Structure 1
Amino acid sequence: MFMNTGLTLRTLSTASAGTGASVRYASTFRHRVSKTLVPTSKQKFVHVAGQEMVPSQQLLLRSGMMRQSSSGIYSILPFGHKILTKIEAIIDDELENIGCQKLSLPNMQTSENWKKTGRWQSAGQEMFKLKDRRGSDFLLAPTHEEEVTSLIAKEVQSYRQLPIRVYQVGRKFRDELRARSGLLRGKEFVMKDLYTFDVTEQEAYKTYDEVVLAYRRIMKRLGVPYAVAEADTGNIGGSHSHEFHILSKVGEDSLLSCGSCGYTSNEERAIGIIPTAPTKAATKFRNSEEVPKWIESLDVVPRSAVRVNPKFQFGVLKAPAADGSRDENCTLVAVATSGDREVNEIKVSKAFGNVELAGSVQAVQTLLGESKVTDLMLCVDQSLYPGQEFPRPKDVTLEGSSLPEGLSSLIGPSSWKKSLKVVYGDYHNCKPGDGCPHCQKNKGLIEPMSVTRAIEVGHTFMLGTKYSVPLNATFVAEDGQEEVPIQMGCYGLGVTRLLASIVEASHDHKGIVWPESVAPYRVVIVTSEDEGCVEAAENVYDIVQKALNVKGDVILDDRTDTTLGFKMKDAELIGYPWMIVVGKGFLRTGNIEVQHRKSGDKWSLEWPKIEGFFQERRLLAQE
């Protein structure tokens, strides 16, 4: 059955016989700016909702590649979508080369599996939670570990079915408290997530190394500077983790790296050798609160040759009561560092459990709620022992009557005696100038590390059995005697974040400078309105398209309502790698001008040399 479109077959037949239709339905299709939704703007986007825009946010708006729908949510327009498609194609190519298969998982997930793994509660308020009409709990997926593990658990029974490597590229949802920086931190985003399933831990680590190498190839093909850093596993969990970063001064992450051996780590995870000579900030620091001075008087905080005054941060460590009651065991934790060091909450929690740090002693009461302190612990940081080995842990007996008012109000009656557990370790954030741990271990040298700002675009995790055990993803081993949990890994790569990060790393005062591998079009042809120029531009299009031998990499700016100069400015803003100018110079000399966006180089080419020029550059996008 034909739907009534308002046109009869006779009308269509008649229309196609006209000259207008012959152009529209010509067999040689040419991409034209005049037929493309690319609403560029000369407006200087600077602020949104009181926040200063980062360069990628400004340029993606000005170049007509995205538009904001609401806070943290964006529509991606045709040019932006074309770039995302090219990024996805590079990812597909490299992952297929290591045996990965593409699938599609649901974005709306039941809470059942998330409750089994404990992440329904631990993921916090970043999850979009909802109920269906029957009152059942669902969420918009921020990630898919539970979903894919449950899927594999139902399909795999034997070791013969492993390994399995599956991935998807799709939308994710996180309820960001402060969505900002455009596509760098939004509520909805496109992400590639890969999940691997292996028989043994050894095979899982081999898979991990293969994926990390594939990630390195992906980043190289994207054509922007990147770094790979050792990282913390965070809420995803697991035992082994790396972050992939694009270097940019607007990045939220700080990477510490060694110029000698290449060691690179996220600031939150970095281990550094502290210089033995204390800084001025360490020696001049003075405690302002009574409680830190009291702890200092216990003589458990060390003294170096040049006095280093410690500073303290307090927190709470909660654990279920041993008798299974509703009450919690609450440990009051004090972390002592030198005055020039900040406490690293991740390192403290890694050592002892989920320690929540407070800004002051008074703020500890908010963390405690109605609970009371049952234990006391003092963590003495290595920054108070520069160049020395850690002492052994020890216990110090305290009497309630000797406590200062700040602590006694938290702990309770003054008639008790308690033991203060004193432990020593690395609980601080590293800083530029700290020594590289690898160089010290391998060469016996203290090589200072430097800091670089970067944007995290990918994260790899060796999960082990963190998800396979609670979700019963097991297989019958080769001996046929027992069921064994599958060894897992997961690997994320932010696709929309890559789009924005590339702009952050590759732009100038004129606009975006796209690498050839992901540019919406590699070549734009701009022309003046002279009839001879327009006809020549059409022919140049066909020559260059044939020379590049890749469909859809050339576009013709054939707009009649703008000047040649306006088109050239637009081309620089959008960031096409190559611009061909067919203007009045062509009418005088017969030559066309070719401009390279990144280098600024220009060539004046005679007609017979055009094809050869672009044939030589055919493979640049793959290098």
Structure 2
Amino acid sequence: MVPSQQLLLRAGMMRQSSSGIYSILPYGQRILDKIEGIIDEELENIGCQKLSLPNLLTSENWKKTGRWESTGQEMFKVKDRRGSDFLLAPTHEEEVTSLIANEVQSYRQLPIRVYQVGRKFRDELRARSGLLRGKEFLMKDLYTFDVSEEEALKTYDEVVLAYRRIMKRLGVPYAVAEADTGNIGGTHSHEFHILSRVGEDSLLSCSSCGYTSNEERAVGVIPTDISKAATKFRNSQPVPKWVESLDVAPRSAVRINPKLQFGIMKTPPTDETKPEVCTLVAVATSGDRDVNEVKVSKAIGKMEFVESMDEIKPLLGEGKVDKLMLCVDQSLYPGQEPTRSKQVEINGTAIPEELSSIMRSKDSTKSLEVVYGDYHNCKPGDSCPHCFKIRGTNEPMEITRAIEIGHTFMLGTKYSRPLDAVFSPADGGAAEPIQMGCYGLGITRLLASIIEASHDKKGIIWPESVAPFRVVIVTSEDEECIKVAENVYDVVQDGLNAKSEVTIDDRVDTTLGFKMKDAELIGYPWMVIIGKGFLRTGKVEVQSRKTGEKWSLEWPEIHAFFKERRL
């Protein structure tokens, strides 16, 4: 278990129902309500309106956009008694686009910014880490609709700024990273992360200029000094002759033994009567670099990767290979300009019998397309691309573990075109597709992420903006102390000028020491202690959970103390 999972269970804020599915208990729900309240305020400030979309979605719109087949096994697909296909909503792009398509006809009705906070469902292969990766979770998703790409980009920037304000109000360290658009699609994309050692994402960042990017998307300047790991690398699998015989890498790379990864790229044919075109791809990097599958797919097309040539035939099924392609990564020529992509003739003796047996035509083995580019994962020590381009300096990037809690996408017309979400423009011309953006923020994931970023061996340390209660009053079992606690409750709440932010732990079957340990576990920002010391001195003790500081206050000082700490 990760710390957030342990602490939420110990503190009585959630209970597990089944693998990846949790019940949220009253204290946990208070925190979720506060997080949602902060989001509501910031989104309303930029003109967003709240709605509620269904969680049981028809497959019709998903089939129109192609995601019914492409999303894969993460979707919970169900049938009704009539045999119609439905799914439990993993996201709502199709549903909200269809809704807007039926409501909007003219440019006068735009822009529109609508959002909801609702449950999402994804059939995770390995649900783990409590609320960080579950099958059912609470999410805020915002969808924006504009008349032009220019207006949509302005909206995108406004929402990103609103997200930054939300993160600041939550009071935990965060980072904004350039990101890949993934299955959602679109052109612009950023991820919002809370920094944590248990995070599944790796961020590469430059301390000099602030450039931050997800590892999948990061672009770095490779050091010109070739590493020992690159020169000592030896392939565990034999290198195919059709790759080994090619002199395509720059001369400086002669002493580097390339690491290879193979895959199959399937392309729909131009003539529907013919089978799909299959390309056998080999990606070559230096031995100290891993292939970035996202970058490869972005550069040449979507493909399936395998560990060795032995796995190619099962991947083809009944199909045959039509073309050969070699992707040569920048790590094989650091500091040099890449050669342009080209067709290379292959010596017939380089084509082994096992490759010939899966080729559709022997003539296609006579040439191979060689493509140069960035196909590797960046790593710490690579130079920041912004500093290198703007100032010509080599500022090394550092890697940080983080938890992704939000993602923003500039969608363009990816969903509006297939779902016919169009409007009549101001010039009276032909109807145009609406420009869209979508913006997600994981609410239950935020709950867990805040704990990951803010806890110690005693328990949770809640930021005051989202704590279940800002102040807890703990008392000894003495009746006079309990009576005083009720008066202190009124004074503290009036000092904070906030309703329902103070609670009293007046359990009579528990010692004062046990109550104090519970208060530290739950993570109240402030603890007011009314024990036997108060009966002797007339002073109450106030403790800060975050700093551990203590104050001894007489009765007239209590109100002023908490008045100074209003949010």
Alignment equivalent of 2:191, drawn from 243, 246, 253: 243
Q: Which residue does the alignment assign to 2:278?
A: 330
Structure 2 residue 163 is the aligned partner of structure 1 residue 215: yes
Give the stretch that moved more between structures: 286-295 or 335-344.
286-295
Q: Which residue does 2:215 correspond to in 1?
A: 267
Deviations 1:517-563 (A, max 9, x none): 00000000000011111111111011101111111110000101110
Unaligned runs of at least 5 residues, structure 1: 1-52
The structural deviation recorded for 1:294 is: 4.7
Matches within 5 A, 1:277-356: 277-292=225-240, 294-304=242-252, 307-325=255-273, 327-356=275-304
Q: TM-score normalised to the size of structure 2?
A: 0.98
The answer to whether the 8 Å contact 2:107/2:147 transfers is yes
Q: Given the alignment of the two structures, is residue 75 of structure 1 paired with residue 27 of structure 2, yes or no?
A: no
Q: Which amino acid aligns with 1:411?
A: M
Following TM superposition, by how much is the alpha carbon of 1:408 offset from its aligned partner in structure 2, in angstroms?
3.2
Contact 2:284–2:326 (Cα < 8 Å) also in 1: yes
Within-5 A mapping of 1:501-516:
501-516=449-464
Partner of 2:34: 86
Q: How much does 1:60 deviate?
A: 0.4
- 1:567-606 aligned at under 5 Å gives the runs 567-606=515-554
Q: What is the number of residues matched between the two proteins?
A: 567
CA contact (8 A) 1:362 1:406 kept: no
The answer as to whether partners of 1:400 and 1:408 remain within 8 angstroms in 2 is no
User: By how many angstroms is 1:353 displaced?
Assistant: 1.1
Secondary structure, aligned partner of 1:555:
strand
Deviates more, 1:297-306 or 1:541-550: 297-306
Question: Residue 47 of structure 2 aligns with which residue?
Answer: 99
Aligned pair in 2 of structure 1 residues 289, 414: CA closer, same or farther (>3 Å)? farther
- Measured after TM superposition, the shift of residue 305 of structure 1 is 6.8
Deviations 1:309-342 (A, max 9, x none): 2111000100112221362110000000000000
CA drift of 1:402 comes to 3.0
**C-alpha offsets along residues 279-317 of structure 1, whole Å, 9 cap, x if unaligned?**
110011122333346513211133317822211100010
Q: Identify if the C-alpha distance between structure 1 residues 357 and 143 changes in structure 2 by more than 3 Å, giving closer, same or farther.
A: same
1:499 aligns to 2:451 (yes or no): no
Note the C-alpha offset of 1:585: 0.8
Contact 1:400 1:416 in 2 (8 A): no
Change (3 A) 1:414 1:291: farther
The residue aligned with 2:141 is: 193
Q: Deviations over 1:402-457 (max 9, x none)?
A: 31355334336767643200010000000000000000111011100000000000
Structure 2: which 5+ residue stretches go unaligned? none
In 2, Cα distance between equivalents of 1:109 and 1:412: 42
Structure index of larger Rg: 1
Shift of 1:240: 0.4
What's 1:438 paired with?
A: 386
Q: Taking structure 1 as reference, are residues 435 and 526 closer, same or farther at Cα in structure 2, changes over 3 Å only?
A: same
Structure 2 Cα separation of the partners of residues 68 and 154 of structure 1 = 40
CA contact under 8 A between 1:400 and 1:415: conserved in structure 2?
no
2:223/2:382 contact within 8 Å kept: yes
Q: Which whole-Å deviations, capped at 9, do the CAs of 1:13-60 have from their partners, x for residues lacking one? A: xxxxxxxxxxxxxxxxxxxxxxxxxxxxxxxxxxxxxxxx00101000
Superposed CA deviations along residues 69-111 of structure 1, whole A, max 9, x for unmatched, are: 0000000000000000000000000000000000000000100
Task: Tell whether 2:84 aligns with 1:136.
Answer: yes
Q: Which amino acid aligns with 2:452?
A: E
After superposition, where does 1:105-116 map in structure 2 within 5 Å?
A: 105-116=53-64
Instruction: Give me the whole-angstrom Cα distance separating, in 1, the residues matched to 2:515 and 2:461.
Output: 16
Work out the CA distance in 1 between the residues paired with 2:426 and 2:152.
Answer: 17
Q: In the alignment, is the contact (CA less than 8 A) between 1:290 and 1:404 conserved in 2?
A: no
1:441-483: CA deviation from partner (whole Å, max 9, x where unpaired): 1101110000000000000000000000000000000011210
CA change 1:291–1:535 in 2 (3 A) is same
The 8 Å contact of residues 315 and 333 in structure 1, kept in 2 or not, is answered as: yes
Quote the residue 1:484 is aligned against.
Answer: 432
C-alpha distance in 1, partners of 2:301/2:426?
Answer: 37
1:420 pairs with 2:368: yes
| Equivalent position of 2:100 in the other structure | 152
Give the whole-Å Cα distance in 2 for the aligned partners of 1:412 and 1:324. Answer: 17
For 1:583 and 1:325, locate their aligned partners in 2 and report how far apart those are by CA, in whole Å. 86
Task: Give the CA deviation at 1:598.
Answer: 0.5
**Identity among equivalent pairs (%):** 78
- Work out the CA distance in 1 between the residues paired with 2:361 and 2:63: 39
> Counterpart of 2:407 in 1: which secondary structure?
strand
Cα offset, 1:570, TM superposition: 0.3
Alignment partner of 1:204 is 2:152? yes
Alpha-carbon separation, structure 1, partners of 2:26 and 2:278? 55
| Aligned-partner Cα distance in 1 for 2:173–2:220 | 24
Q: Secondary structure at the match of 1:282?
A: helix
Aligned to 2:11: 63
Deviates more, 1:332-341 or 1:395-404: 395-404
d(CA) in 1 for partners of 2:110 and 2:505? Answer: 52
Q: 2:105 & 2:365 partners in 1: Cα distance?
A: 57
Answer whether contact 2:410 2:436 (CA < 8 A) is retained: yes
1:402 has 2:350 as partner: yes
Q: CA RMSD in A?
A: 1.3
**What residue in structure 2 maps to residue 276 of structure 1?**
224
Equivalent of 2:476, from 522, 528, 552? 528
- State the secondary structure of the residue aligned to 1:125: coil
SS at match of 1:79: helix
Instruction: State the AA in 2 paired with 1:181.
Output: S
In structure 1, what is the equivalent of residue 501 of structure 2? 553
Q: Is the 8 A contact 1:399 1:414 kept in 2?
A: no
Q: Secondary structure at the match of 1:410?
A: coil
Partner of 1:119: 67
In structure 1, what residue type is equivalent to 2:542?
V
CA contact (8 A) 2:322 2:361 kept: no
Question: What CA distance in whole angstroms lies between the structure 1 residues aligned with 2:348 and 2:361?
Answer: 7
Contact preservation (8 Å) 2:280, 2:323: yes
Q: Distance in 2 between matches of 1:379 and 1:416?
A: 18
One-letter amino acid of the structure 2 residue matched with residue 450 of structure 1: E
